[in-house]
């Protein structure tokens, strides 16, 4: 019985995610679902991306948090339209929440939508939002074994971003073993090593994002 309920929830979510995707495609918007544990640097990556792409892309942000508007306030300060979703205990975003958030954004004035999921390494993997790409962010202090311990998050990722690479000499993190572990569960994922703090490696991330934006724009002939 419990399995049936879960399947119903998941299939309802899938249907809503497909609707979101249609709406995003109709408006030529590239949507990126950014997932990680709390503190890995999702907001920092979003703020760095805004800083580098502002003026070159029309960006909007959806912030998912259990509570507070701390991250949304930072995005708003950067002059970017932002919608805060408080899940009030929920450990992940769901497609119906994104659908509501999309209705309060000016879609015709957006071509890149960055969605910050709730900080969690388990639940976000199970819920499609209608996004085009999933980005899994991991930071060095979390340890290089996470692809083994939380494989679903890494299996589904289009891009794995390894943040806080500037801490490499301070923490025991085997970067080569991490690459191997990611490749072991997901041969297709691109891996970028970055530091939001020092700016190291951000060009690669931005270049990937620009390529994806160009593809969406070409499709939508915006």
Q: Which of 71, 94, 131, 193 binds Mg ion (CB under 5 A)?
A: 71
**Judged by CB under 5 A, how many residues of this single chain contact Mg ion?**
3
Looking only at the bridges linking them, the beta strands covering 159-163 and 30-35 are unpaired
36 vs 58, which CB is nearer to Mg ion?
36
Region near Mg ion per CB under 5 A, out of 21-29, 65-73, 130-138, 176-184:
65-73
Spatial contact of 52 and 196, defined as CB atoms under 8 Å apart: no
Residues 162-181 close enough to bind Mg ion by CB under 5 A: none
Strand partners, 114: 32, 61
Task: Please select the residue that binds Mg ion; options are 13, 43, 110, 120, rule is CB under 5 A.
Answer: 43
- CA distance between the termini of the chain: 47
Q: Which residues pair with 82 in a beta bridge?
A: 61
Smallest gap from residue 25 Cβ to Mg ion (A)? 27
Q: How far is the CB of 70 from Mg ion (least distance, A)?
A: 8
Does 42 contact Mg ion by CB under 5 A?
Answer: yes
With beta carbons less than 8 A apart as the criterion, state whether 86 and 101 touch: no
Cβ–Cβ under 8 Å, residues 194 and 205: yes
Angle (nearest 5°) at CA 86 between 61 and 162:
55
Residue nearest Mg ion, Cβ-based: 43
CB of 64 to Mg ion, least distance (A): 9
Q: Using CB under 5 A, list all residues that contact Mg ion.
A: 42-43, 71
């Amino acid at each position: 019985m419990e399995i049936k309920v879960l399947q119903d929830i998941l299939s309802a979510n899938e249907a809503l995610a497909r609707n979101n995707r249609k709406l995003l495609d109709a408006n030529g918007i590239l949507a990126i679902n950014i997932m990680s544990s709390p503190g890995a640097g999702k907001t920092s990556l979003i703020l760095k991306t805004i800083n580098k792409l502002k003026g070159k892309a029309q960006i909007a942000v959806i912030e998912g948090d259990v509570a507070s508007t701390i991250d949304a306030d930072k995005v708003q300060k950067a002059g970017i339209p932002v919608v805060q979703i408080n899940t009030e205990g929920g450990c992940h975003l769901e497609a119906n929440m994104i659908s509501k958030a999309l209705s309060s954004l000016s879609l015709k004035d957006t071509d890149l939508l960055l969605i910050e999921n709730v900080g969690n390494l388990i639940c976000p993997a199970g819920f499609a939002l209608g996004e085009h790409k999933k980005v899994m962010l991991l930071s060095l202090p979390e340890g290089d074994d996470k692809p083994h311990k939380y494989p679903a998050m890494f299996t589904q990722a289009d891009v794995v971003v390894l943040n806080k690479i500037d801490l490499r000499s301070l923490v025991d993190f085997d970067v080569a073993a991490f690459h191997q572990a990611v490749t072991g569960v997901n041969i297709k994922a691109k891996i970028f090593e970055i530091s939001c703090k020092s700016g190291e490696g951000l060009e690669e991330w931005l270049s990937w994002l620009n390529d994806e934006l160009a593809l969406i724009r070409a499709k939508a002939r915006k």
